[in-house]
């Protein structure tokens, strides 16, 4: 029951944030004259306000349940809300609801366990494919492998300073999976990015300290130096080996 309630609370929080943002936006408006300030506020169209609130709350709840594969009985769901607004007694006894929720939570826990097992199996397959790729890649001329397993290739050498862990760097990068799919690229956005050397994945932290200003390297980063079994977002799945072309533009102390 706690998991289900947390979804509803999250949805309510979204609506509260939206209202707060609207209020903050009004604070930035220029001060109005006395006559304007005295004018009565227009009466809100509560049918539209109610629909807006329902859209925000209902949309978030619906999306969360869909992601978890939960099919809600919409009629009973809406009836419960109406009953609460109208102060009507519950359609079911408390014992019935408690028993149903306990059974529901057991089903959800089992489903989550199955999902974790499937994710672990998928991660293992992807890791194995990545390890095979790296083993072959290590044989290529110009590719070097560090003690951690990071592989790199110098695409453009340059003379200059190297960053240390406490520095911030400004870089251009282009990231792909082993299959060539682009998942992130400052090059495509046309705007370099600045961040701390220790604020990124392990493979980047290590690789950046090998570079000099003006150089361009290609990093081949095994899963355990990237996002591991968790992955990152929709584009980087569990166990993925990542490839980055990185150009170090400048160092900021």
Q: Which of 183, 195, 224, 229 is catalytic?
A: 183
Give yes or no: 65 in active site.
no
Task: Classify residue 4 as left (phi > 0), alpha (psi -120 to 50) or beta.
Answer: alpha
| β-sheet bridge partners, residue 200 | none
Q: Which of 195, 201, 224, 229 is catalytic?
A: 201
Q: Which of 219, 220, 227, 243 is catalytic?
A: 227
Give yes or no: 83 in active site.
no
Q: Which of 152, 184, 217, 236 is catalytic?
A: 184
Identify whether the C-beta of residue 186 lies closer than 8 Å to the C-beta of residue 193: yes
Task: Scan for tokens 């943002």, then name that residue.
Answer: 21
Give yes or no: 213 in active site.
no
Identify whether the C-beta of residue 133 lies closer than 8 Å to the C-beta of residue 149: no
Give yes or no: 85 in active site.
no
The closest alpha carbon to 203, from 151, 163, 238, belongs to 151
Tell me the C-alpha to C-alpha distance, in Å, between residue 27 and each of 18, 19, 37, 39: 15, 13, 14, 18
Give yes or no: 104 in active site.
no
Residue 134 tokens read as 């790296």
Give yes or no: 167 in active site.
no
Provide the annotated active-site residues: 173, 183-184, 201, 227, 244
């Amino acid at each position: 029951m706690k998991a289900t309630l947390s979804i509803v609370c999250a949805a309510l929080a979204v609506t509260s944030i939206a209202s707060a943002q609207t209020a903050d936006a009004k604070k930035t408006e220029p001060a109005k004259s006395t006559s304007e300030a005295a004018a009565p506020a227009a009466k809100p169209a509560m049918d539209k306000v109610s629909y807006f609130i329902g859209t925000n709350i209902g949309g978030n709840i619906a999306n969360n349940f869909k992601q978890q594969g939960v099919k809600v009985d919409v009629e009973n769901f809406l009836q419960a809300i109406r009953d609460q607004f109208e102060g009507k007694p519950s359609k079911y006894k408390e014992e019935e609801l408690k028993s149903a929720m306990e059974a529901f939570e057991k089903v959800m826990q089992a489903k989550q366990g199955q999902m974790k097992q499937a994710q672990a199996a998928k991660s293992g397959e992807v890791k194995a494919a990545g390890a095979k790729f790296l083993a072959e890649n290590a044989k290529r001329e110009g590719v070097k492998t560090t003690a951690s397993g990071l592989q790199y290739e110098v695409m453009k050498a340059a003379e200059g300073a190297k960053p240390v862990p406490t520095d911030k760097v400004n870089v251009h990068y282009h990231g792909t999976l082993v299959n060539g799919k682009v998942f992130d690229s400052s090059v495509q956005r046309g705007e370099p990015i600045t961040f701390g050397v220790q604020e990124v994945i392990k493979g980047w932290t290590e690789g950046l300290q090998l570079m000099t200003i003006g150089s361009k390297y290609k990093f081949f980063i095994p899963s355990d130096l990237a996002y591991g079994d968790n992955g990152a977002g929709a584009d980087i799945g569990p166990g993925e080996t990542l490839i980055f072309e990185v150009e170090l533009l400048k160092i900021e102390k």
